[in-house]
Amino acid sequence: MEKSKLLEILYEWNIWSGKRLNTGFGREVIERLLKFVDLPEVLVFKGVRRSGKSTLMFQVIYKILNRGVDPKQTLYVNFEEPFFAGETSLALMEQIYGVYREHLNPDDFAWIFLDEVQTIPGWERWVRGIQEREKGKVKILVTGSSSALLSREFSTLLTGRQVSFEIFPFSFKEFLLTKKIEIRGKEDIYGKKRRIKYHLAEYINWGGFPEVTLNQSEEVKKTLLKQYFEDILYHDVVERFRIRDVITLKRLAINY
């Protein structure tokens, strides 16, 4: 890929020129994650599609910026970027890092955020290599779907070099917070019992996927959930395990 085009893409995604971060709704797990950001291990956020992994990355970026980190010390890369289609190779990862170091941050410590990194075959080798080559100069955080991060290379190349966090959709407590209901103790439960029961029925019906929860339209909620179902079924199950009888699998998934 041309260096100028790559730099243009990176500027669109990053906050080097004053772009605001979309940090979404605050998650409970963020404080736990922050305890590990200064350790050398790779941080891995894995979980079901659309559970909020990318938003958590933005929340981590926001938190470290509040500590005084220069925005140019952060590099965020979304590997589902359409312009990367057909460029999914370790050479692309090396080129991205090289362009970043050449134009934004030649010498200082760098926080590298690799979103949906599983689209790059063998990404684990690059991450391990950069950790060894730039020891003490980088912190790497990656996201990916749970199924995609079960590869043998992930288990072997990054053993002892990573800390993984399973990211789930909103818990019921988080769901209630989106409805401006905060539960601090038993007294809150008793005092807000009617509202809690009402929203429990809603939570059971729609689940806790962040985008679904935060949207008010039932039509949009249904469309999103249907799309999540299709994406998980076809990308995380059919493609990964090379299922041939897709119709039977779909019936099984719907009925059980």
Q: Answer yes or no: do 109 and 157 share one domain.
A: yes
CA distance to 4, 98, 175, 225, 228, per residue, from 200 (Å): 51, 49, 9, 18, 22
Give the residue from 130, 145, 166 where a domain finishes: 166
pLDDT at 151: 61
Whichever domain contains 119, its CATH number is 3.40.50.300
The whole-angstrom separation of Cα 186 and Cα 21 is 36
What is the number of structural domains in the chain?
2
The whole-angstrom separation of Cα 42 and Cα 69 is 19
Packing angle of the helix pair 3-13, 90-103 (nearest 10 deg)? 80
Prediction pTM value: 0.90
The whole-angstrom separation of Cα 216 and Cα 93 is 39
pLDDT at 98: 97
Give the residue from 166, 183, 215 where a domain finishes: 166
pLDDT at 137: 97
Residues of the chain scoring pLDDT < 50: none
pLDDT at 58: 96
